[in-house]
Amino acid sequence: MPTTLTIKAEEESTYTIQVSFKDEDGNSVVPNSIYWKLTDSDGITLNSRSYESVAVASVVNITLEGDDLSVVASRGSNKKRVLTVWGKYDSDLGYDLAYADSCKFFVKDLVAIS
């Protein structure tokens, strides 16, 4: 079950999500690769964000902005976003082990934004 972030993003503003990586023992780990995608609640990729890479570190910040956080009235209720992160890491259990996780958050619809 994805984590739900409690702070809403402001429509067409900037929103940063901090992601940390832990191994099976809960120790910080630097993955071999980190990728992410942004979708709406129906799984539709938003703003062509389908296979974004991030420099590897045990903690990374993924910054969303502008069209990543737009609300389109003609698409109905599309204020929910899902950020999915995946890649590979090494641990005592093996090499190039797969990981994947996601979080969901909501975009605050600003009526004056068109």
pTM for this entry? 0.89
Structural domain count, the chain: 1
Residue-wise pLDDT tens digits, 6-18: 999 999 999 999 9
The pLDDT assigned to 41 comes to 84
114 within domain boundaries: no
CATH number at residue 61: 2.60.40.1930
For residue 82, give its domain range: 3-108
Find the helix or strand (DSSP H, E) in which 19 lies: strand 14-20
The pLDDT assigned to 84 comes to 97
Residue-wise pLDDT tens digits, 61-90: 999 999 999 987 655 557 899 999 999 999
3-state class (DSSP) for residue 67: helix
Residue type, 7: I
113 within domain boundaries: no
Q: How confident is the model at residue 45 (pLDDT cuts 50, 70, 90)?
A: very high
